Structure 1
Amino acid sequence: MHIHEILIPITLFCSIAAVALMFIVGRHKERMYMIERGVSAQIFEQAAKRSVYNSLKYALLMIGFAIGLLLGELLRLKAQMEPPVAYFSMILLWGGLSLLLFYILQRYLMAQDAHKEAAFQEA
């Protein structure tokens, strides 16, 4: 076994860990600076609210990719298309449609959340 067969995976995982650590430390420093300056904590709440919708986005995207892959296979078999064209066109089409669906759902859900918050503040 050559040394580069060992060093490449070690370097890869160390690099990923370093980037993740830098992200976490940087975010912590940024938040501490904002707290020192007296910035409203509402910014953090908005970020947390957006992260709730990220799961929905990725779920819809993966569903869109799966549908695109299945329809790409059908297109390849029935329409005698070349495999790369059939697969990529359907994956991109259905992936894009799933992101469009996410956008519509997110707007609807955010409007509902805003309506609930307004009703809660009135009470």
Structure 2
Amino acid sequence: MGPDVAVFMVPIVSVIGIITMIIFIRYYMNVERMALIQKGIDPFTNKPKGQLNPSVTLRIALLLIGTGVGILLGNFLDEITPLVSEAAYFSMILIFGGAGLLTSYVFELRMAKREEAEAKKEIKYENI
């Protein structure tokens, strides 16, 4: 099997695999719902609403921003310095991706403290 065959086989097998996975997920979700209905339980009572947590969105956004800055600075280091291009790119992506996650952690910590302080104020005013 040469590289020409692999070029055509990989996308075809990937698409077939993804479609098969979706079909099985839907099938087992249906089996689960039917089992809940047979037991007399409403299958839609404990389902998640599908909303993203704002902290997850913030974490992903800052990670992608850090990765983008890392790629940009990796390109800059590759052009300006005699570093090996792979080392420049991977080091900058990891450093700035980690910095984005750390920034996200600090923001989430501040938001949690702020929410806790507001909850204490509300409890204080309710007791008066």
Is TM more than 0.5 here?
A: yes
Looking at structure 2, the residues matched to 122 and 25 of structure 1 have their Cα atoms a distance apart, in angstroms, of 50
Find the counterpart in structure 2 of residue 114 from structure 1: 116
Q: TM-score when scaled to structure 2?
A: 0.60
Partner of 1:64: 66
Q: How many residue pairs are counted as aligned between the two chains? A: 114
Deviation at 1:110, TM superposition (A): 1.6
Q: Say whether 1:79 aligns with 2:81.
A: yes
Whole-Å separation in 2 of the counterparts to 1:26 and 1:113: 39
Cα distance in structure 2, aligned partners of 1:92 and 1:55: 20
Which deviations, in whole Å up to 9, do the C-alpha atoms of 1:78-114 show, x marking residues without a partner?
Answer: 2121110110010101001111111111111122223
Change over 3 Å in CA distance of 1:22–1:70 after alignment to 2? same
Q: Specify every segment of 5 or more residues in structure 2 that has no aligned partner in the other structure, as ranges.
A: 1-5
Shift of 1:6: 8.0
Partner AA of 1:122 in structure 2 = E
Change (3 A) 1:6 1:72: closer
Structure 2 CA distance, aligned partners of 1:100 and 1:81?
26
Q: Which residue identity does 1:54 align to in structure 2?
A: V
2:100 maps to what in 1? Answer: 98
Give the Cα separation in 2 of the matches to 1:70 and 1:84: 13
Distance 1:23 1:69, change over 3 A: same
Quote the residue 1:53 is aligned against: 55
Structure 1: unaligned runs, 5 residues or longer: none
Q: Report deviation, 1:75.
A: 1.0
